[in-house]
Structure 1
Amino acid sequence: MRKFLIVLLVLAVAGLIGADRFGETRAETEVARQVAAQYRLQEQPSVEIGGFPFLTQAAGGNYQRIDVVIGDYTQQGVTVQDVRIRLDSLNAPLSELLNGDQSNVRAKTATASAVIPYGVLQKGVADKGVQKVSRDGDDMLLEGTFAFLGVSAQVGVAVSLEPTAKGIVVTPKTVRASGIQVPLDLVKRDLTYTVPVTGLPMGSRITAVEPVDTGLRITGTAENVDLSGVTPQTTG
């Protein structure tokens, strides 16, 4: 009799785990479908609902964490890469998520990040003589032919990056010039500028900027996000 009860308990637990995985997979698939439809994506994003067990989260209408990986996304003719969205402490009944009703969906924290390719950044400062933008360790490197005091030279400028309310402030830190010595103050005068980053979704603000091999990873964070008021922006 005791052995029978143990087997029955094991089967019951296995059944609960199976139902939990089924519910989680179904919810992830539906969220991916809705995101793809709203943002007119050619492919459905990857969605992962964190926390265990899923059914307990669904019953309480609170999900610890949802990660959405979109990949490349084009807006106003500019393609950014590796777009990721993370929602923490998402409050929403399971039935509303599955039916596409976002009227009562709210996240405690929403974090979005994307990589702006260096080619896109180079086009924005081509008029300053910048011919190439790349990574230089923890900094960004601007390379090009610049004229200082009437003398043109091939110069590499390592710049620091600071997130602000208006965008990313780019400030020269060190200068490497071929054949001549270029004062840093002179470079700062000509190559200190702001990369405008505005209109971030969900009222988020830039919290981090990190150079990676392919571009600048920009991270924005918003708190107490009402997803019923989030409307996708049209692509250009």
Structure 2
Amino acid sequence: MRKLLIFLVVLILLVVGVDIGGRAFAESKAGEAIATQTGTVAPSVHIHGFSFLAQALPGHYQNITLTSQDVAAGPITGIAATIELYDVDLPLGDALNGTASNLRAAQVRLHGEIPTSRISAAMTQTGVTITAGPGGAIRVGATVSVAGQQIPVTADLVASFSSGALHLDAKGLTAAGISLPSIAGLNIADLARNLSLALPLRDLPFTVQAATLTASGTNLVLTAIANDVRIAAKT
């Protein structure tokens, strides 16, 4: 009985060791494969769930997390992002060979954080400041010259997603507390355009189906989702 117990303990330790080692190997290979497939820096990969082997053999994983510091959204690059993949299919042979061409996920959710200063720097209008309003609203402010006078202008950036891009449109402009367009000598259309920005999301490794941007402290939080995803090769 004592020898049997020792054998079982050793067997369990071996299985756990193989499971842990296999998980680490697969995570490393997956990161390299995704980098090769998308032409980006290799993300960190974490495969969730107890018993990696039980998931790897059939090639189906409940949840895989990718983290990267190199996500791009149009003119904004180097975004720190976490990408959650759910109900993932990746054949064991592909995992061992380090290829992601057959990787598919039922759902993908991206969470990225962008410093407000990087959004304002990408705008046509100079001297733009971005702050967080109630409920995650994005407030934008700038100083414009009207008839030789410097007037502070504020607006809300309203996010909407269409045609593969996240559009940030300046709405509800006010100048010195006066609702625009009530100030002569100020081109409201040009000002609104200069305070707006489009962030194409085509550089992501999957086709986005919905996205939004909200303010949180000194960052803007980018969220994007997609269903029935296949990791796309960079074109």
Normalised by the length of structure 1, the TM-score is 0.76
Corresponding position of 1:198: 200
Corresponding position of 1:33: 32
Q: C-alpha distance in 1, partners of 2:127/2:229?
A: 39
**Cα pair 2:169 2:196 within 8 Å, conserved:** yes
Give the Å deviation of 1:199.
Answer: 4.5
Identity of aligned residues (%): 23
Corresponding position of 2:22: 23
Q: Does 1:159 align with 2:156?
A: yes
Corresponding position of 1:226: 230
The partner residue of 1:79 within 71, 77, 80 is 77
Higher relative contact order (CA 8 A, sep 6+): 2
Corresponding position of 2:4: 5
User: SS at the partner of 2:138?
Assistant: strand
Matched to 1:21, the amino acid is I
Structure 2 gaps, min length 5: none
Give the Å deviation of 1:52.
Answer: 1.3
RMSD: 3.3
Distance 1:186 1:121, change over 3 A: farther
- Tell me the matched-pair count: 224
**Cα pair 1:80 1:117 within 8 Å, conserved:** no
Q: C-alpha distance in 2, partners of 1:76/1:183?
A: 31
Give the Å deviation of 1:106.
Answer: 1.5
Matched to 1:198, the amino acid is P
Paired residues for 1:58-77 under 5 Å: 58-73=56-71
Q: C-alpha distance in 2, partners of 1:158/1:221?
A: 27
Bigger fraction of residues in helix? 1
The partner residue of 2:124 within 119, 123, 126 is 126
Q: 1:137-156 CA deviation, whole Å, 9 max, x = no partner?
A: 5222322113579964124x
Q: C-alpha distance in 1, partners of 2:158/2:49?
A: 35
Give the Å deviation of 1:186.
Answer: 5.5
Distance 1:208 1:7, change over 3 A: farther
Matched to 1:217, the amino acid is V
